[in-house]
Each structure stands twice: as structure tokens, then as C-alpha cells.
Amino acid sequence: MTARSLPAYGALGATFSIAGDGEWAGYIDELYAACRVDGPAAVRFTVLEPDRGAVTLTRDDETLLACEAGWAVLDRLVWEVNRLAWDAGGRRVLLHGAAVVIGGRAVVLCGASGSGKSTLAAALCARGAGYLSDEIVAFDPATGLVDPYPKPISLREGSWPLVATPLPISGVATHMMRTRYLSVASAAAAPPVAVVLPSHDARQGTAVSALARSDALVALCGHADELVRHGAAGFRALGALVERATCIALRAGDIDVACDLVAEAAGAPPW
Amino acid sequence: MVTDRLTRGAGLESVELDGEAVVFEIATGRVHRLNATGAAIWRLVDGSRSAATIAASISPDRPSDIEQFIAELVDLGLVH
């Protein structure tokens, strides 16, 4: 079976291609369609599944993973692309989180893994919000904008009933699969006007509370892995971000209500 | 009690937000949130005032509470 080359994709300035065989090629291209860029790719990933055996993921000439679990290979590929994005962030301050655009204004959703930020981002996009990123929020202090890195949104099992997620290819969809990926078109860079710290507890319903800007800044710093690299300037940039933003803590029990509350924080009408 | 004139620690950056403050340790990335009282202390730590002076300025009736707060800032390395 021969690997088929795919277009180049971008991740915060890094460029890469992903070649795959069989149904992998089209599937991966769909997932990263929002990241397509013109020009050559600096890094080449390849996913091969010869004769329904082990699936192999390589980066250039290096084998990264070879196993029978296609979902694990896909998870690893997404992780590797994220790592490219982290390394290419440059002057941007990178935060663990998601970001969407509502009415031309960016909303930053920051929280620990499992807090529901990806689910909330996907639900907001399904209601018409623009998509900037999931997992990595790239804030550029020079422009004051959140830049797009429209990777496929990672959705864990618990969110599948809440957000329509397409079934992956058969090589990925097994009972062991814990994450589905949702491709969403990219919005343009936008100025952040709201910082939302989500949590999820369906048993307790939805609740919103104002968040002190000092608490919001501490939270953002806690989700900025490489803030030390940016030094005082990066810290001041995050300070300026929260100073201009509406900051809320949101317990998203009911996803519809939660989406309306996020829209309100962005100064937009309910969906 | 700290009696010398207080200065801010080296390698710190701070931002004041709505009367509170957040202090960032540039070398480590550690952050400290100071409530309104802490932010008031922080504003007065400029190398010209002692802990007693700052405490008396912020809380003339209960300066010992402020001095205790200042001692905590000293322990954290935010103030010398």
C-alpha cells in the first residue's frame, strides 16, 4: 500500500503534512482541514496501516508509535501536532485552554483537563461561535489578539451525548476509544473580552459567578506553561488581558444555559 | 518585627487589578495574589518606609495585624 501525500497544515507557524494510507488519508485531512496552509511542510507525519496490521506513526524518518490500536495512534498524532504548535508559539503566550469568537470578540476558556472547556467550546461552535482553538490558546501580546490554532476539538466520552461528534474511521473506532475529534472551521484572530473558568457537574446544574480579575490572572498564569520564557512582559500581557475582560467562573451543568452565559460574558445576546 | 525600610524583592513583577495585586516571580513563574490589604502594603513598599510606618499608615488601630502580614511577605521573599 502506498502512502498518499496530503496538503500542508499550519500550527502557530509550524508547518506539517500528514500522509496516510487507506481511509486514514481522507480522515486525517478532514480533521485538520481548518489548519491547511499554502506552501511546503517542514515536518512530515505518516500514518500507515499495512494489511490491517499494526498502525505506524512516523515523524520524518522516526517511528513514534506502532500498535494495533488505531485510536492510540490518532491520539499520539494530535499530541505531536500540539507539541509542534507549542514549540512554534514564538512571541505568543500559550495557555492550556480553548478559545472561541462571539460577535468578533474572543472568549478564553481555561481549565484543567476534564473541566469541560472542550465540550463548551464545541457546543458554542455548534451554536454559531467561531472557533480559534482547543487545548492551546495563543495570545499575542504584540497585537492583543488570540490567534487561531484550529486543531480538531478533542472530546471525551462524557461529552459525546452533548455535542454531535462524527464517528471516526473503522481503524480508530473501537470500544477502547476514549476521545473523538471534531473538525471545526477556523475564525480569524480576535481580541479577548472574556475569561471563563469552566467546571462541570451535571448533578448541580449551571451556575455562574463573577471572578476577581486577580484570581483570573492567577488562573491564567497557572495555565501558561512557558510563562517564564516570556518573563515580565508575558505576565504584564496577561494582566492587560484580564484587565479588559469580563471574568467568570462557570459551572456548566446544562450546556444550553452555559452557552448563553458565555455569550453574555462576551457581550452578545443568547444563542 | 521588621524595622528596616522595606524594599520589594528582586526579580518580581506585579500587576494591580481592582484594588488587589498579583505578584509574579520572573525566574520561577510562581504567582502570588494579594488581597486589598496586601496590595495596599505592596504599594507602600518602596524603600522609604519601615514595616511599622506602613502598618501605622494602613491600620492605625491594629498595626500588629499589618506587621504580621508584612512578615508573611518577607517569608515569601516578596519583601526585604
Q: Which domain holds residue B32?
A: 12-75
In this predicted model, which residue has the larger pLDDT, A95 or A112?
Answer: A95
> How far, in Å, CA of A205 to CA of B46, rounded?
48
Residue B18 to residue A215, Cβ atoms within 8 A:
no
Residue type, A155: L
Chain A residues closer than 8 Å to B37 by CB: none
pLDDT of residue B51: 96
Nearest by Cα to B21 from B60, B56, B62, B73: B73
ipTM: 0.93
B10 has a chain A CB within 8 A of its CB: no
**Which pLDDT tens digit goes with each residue over A12-53?**
999 999 999 888 889 999 999 999 999 999 999 999 987 667
CB A210 within 8 A of CB A157: no
pLDDT at A203: 80
pLDDT value for B54: 97
Q: If 0-12 CB within 10 Å is exposed, 13-18 middle and 19+ buried, where does residue A235 land?
A: buried
pLDDT tens digits, one per residue of A110-141: 998 889 999 999 999 999 999 999 999 999 99
Asked if A20 contacts A48 with a C-beta cutoff of 8 angstroms, the reply is: yes
Percent of chain A with pLDDT over 90: 76
Q: Is residue B42 part of a domain?
A: yes
Is the pLDDT score of A98 beyond 90? Answer: yes
Residue B29, domain member (yes or no): yes
Closest alpha carbon within chain B to A224: B29
A218 close to B (CB below 8 A) = yes
pLDDT of amino acid B24: 98
For A221-239, what is each residue's pLDDT tens digit? Answer: 999 988 999 999 999 999 9
Query: Does residue A65 have a pLDDT over 60?
Result: yes
Mean pLDDT of A50-79: 91
Exposure pattern of B25-60 as b/e (b: 16+ CB <10 Å)?
A: bbeebebbbbeeebbbbbebbeeebbbbebbeebbe
Residue A49: the pLDDT is 85
Rounded to 5 degrees, what are φ and ψ at A153? -70, 130
User: How many domains does the structure of chain B reveal?
Assistant: 1
| Helix/strand/coil for B15 | strand
Rounded Cα–Cα distance for residues B77 and B12 (Å)? 10
- Whether A217 sits inside 8 A of B28 (CB atoms) is no
Distance, in Å, from the CA atom of A80 to the CA atom of A9, rounded to the nearest integer, reads: 13
Q: What is the mean pLDDT of residues B17-35?
A: 97
- Is it the case that residue A1 has pLDDT exceeding 50? no
- Outline where chain A has alpha helix (H): 23-31, 70-88, 117-126, 213-222, 227-244, 255-265
Domain A93-150+185-265 fold is Phosphoenolpyruvate Carboxykinase; domain 3 (3.90.228)
* Residue B31 is assigned to a structural domain of this protein: yes
- Residues from chain B that touch A235, judged by Cβ atoms under 8 A, are 13, 15, 24, 26, 31
For range A178-202, the mean pLDDT: 94
Compute the mean pLDDT over every residue in chain A, rounded to the nearest whole number: 92
Q: Which residue of B has its CA nearest to A230?
A: B26
Count contacts between A and B (CB, < 8 Å): 52
A210 to chain B, any CB pair closer than 8 A? The answer is: no
Mean pLDDT within A183-194 = 97
Sort out which chain B residues have CB atoms less than 8 A from A228's CB and list them.
26-29
For the record, the C-alpha cell of A85 comes out as 504548535
Percent of chain A, pLDDT > 70?
Answer: 97
Give the closest-approach CA distance of B78 to chain A in angstroms: 15
With respect to residue B6, please indicate whether it lies within any of the assigned structural domains.
Answer: no
Interface of B with A in 19-78 (CB under 8 A): 20-22, 24, 26-29, 31, 33-34
Chain B nearest-CA distance from A252, in A, is 26
Q: Residues 231..250 of A with a Cβ closer than 8 Å to B: which?
A: 231-232, 235-236, 239, 242-243
For A236, nearest residue in chain B (alpha carbons):
B15
Q: Does B53 map to a domain?
A: yes
Instruction: Please state whether the predicted TM-score (pTM) of the whole model is above 0.80.
Output: yes
> Closest Cα to residue A214, out of B12, B38, B1?
B38
DSSP code at position A263: H
**Does A201 lie at the interface with B, CB-CB under 8 angstroms?**
no
Asked if pLDDT for residue A183 goes beyond 60, the answer is yes
Q: Where are the domains of chain A?
A: 8-88, 93-150+185-265
